[in-house]
Every structure is written in C-alpha cells, then in structure tokens.
C-alpha cells in the first residue's frame, strides 16, 4: 500500500514530475536547435561551458557529478560536431581545458534566446515579485541536492 503523504508534498511531487517531463521535451527541442545531431542531455553541458568559459575536464566532471570517462565521451561527440574544443591546460599539460568554439557559442546563444523567449512569454502575466520568488525557491530546491 502506498504511503500516505501530506497533500502539499503530493502536490510538489506531481508538479515536479510535470516540470521534468516538460523539461525533457524542451531539451530535445533546444538540442535540435543547437545542432540536429546533438544529444538532448548535452544542452546542460553546453550551458556550463557557456557560463564558465574555459574549464578543466576534471573540474567540469566534478561540477556536473558525472565520471570523467562519461564526460570525455560527451565532449568527444561535441568536438565532432564542431561545438566544443579541447586544449591542453597551460598549468598542467596532462589536463585538458574545454571550451565552446565560436560556432558552438553562436548556436548555443541562438537556441538559448529562443528558450528564454518562451520562458518570458510563459511568465509575462506573473508579477516581478512572483518571478523573483519562483527563481529563489527553485535555486533553494536545487542547492539542496549539492
């Protein structure tokens, strides 16, 4: 028998599930906007690279919570698409620095602008205070997993 959860917790579970399903669908759309052969889960990787500029492969693996081997395979496929470049780390030649190529930046920025437009349209009827609260609560929720 299913555990009896308080209604507010069930509501959060339901809405989070809906958000995750919608997020997966949007990830597919955005990934295809960046490049027709881009895997949907690679969008988050591109986002981190766009925010951080050049970063070490090992630091990125730790930040994303994935193994170096898995990340290296993902980076390899992004390199093959011309979206990412891997260069030796000047402070440690055994390590690699990863960054977006100019083409990767251009494609990512165009897809992100489209996504932000969708978010802006969705939230246009919300008050600025509600949008601020929503962002703050999402950050708090996400930070709880770090």
Band (2; pLDDT cuts 50, 70, 90): low
Distance, CA of 146 to CA of 77 (rounded, Å): 27
Query: Which among 108, 107, 89, 110 has a CA at the least distance from the CA of 98?
Result: 89
Q: Rounded to a whole number, what is the largest CA-CA distance in the chain?
A: 58
pLDDT of 61 above 70: yes
Domain spans, the chain: 7-143
Indicate the pTM of the whole model. 0.74
pLDDT of 131 above 60: yes
* Token digits of residue 26: 């949007």
For 66-115, the pLDDT digits (tens) are 888 888 899 999 999 999 999 888 888 788 899 999 999 999 999 989 88
Whether domain 7-143 has CATH 1.10.10.10: the reply is: yes
Q: Which helix (H) or strand (E) holds 132?
A: helix 128-143
- DSSP code, position 54: S
């Amino acid at each position: 028998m299913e555990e009896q959860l308080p209604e507010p917790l069930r509501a959060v579970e339901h809405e989070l599930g809906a958000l995750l399903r919608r997020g997966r669908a949007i990830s597919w759309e955005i990934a295809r906007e960046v490049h027709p052969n881009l895997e949907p889960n690679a969008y988050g990787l591109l986002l981190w690279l766009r925010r951080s500029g050049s970063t070490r492969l090992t630091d990125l693996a730790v930040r994303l919570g994935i193994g170096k081997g898995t990340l290296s395979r993902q980076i390899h496929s992004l390199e093959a698409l011309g979206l990412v470049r891997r260069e030796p780390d000047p402070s440690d030649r055994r390590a690699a620095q990863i960054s977006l190529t100019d083409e990767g930046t251009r494609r990512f920025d165009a897809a992100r602008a489209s996504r932000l437009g969708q978010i802006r349209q969705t939230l246009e009827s919300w008050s600025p205070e509600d949008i601020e609260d929503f962002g703050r609560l999402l950050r708090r929720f996400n930070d709880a997993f770090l």
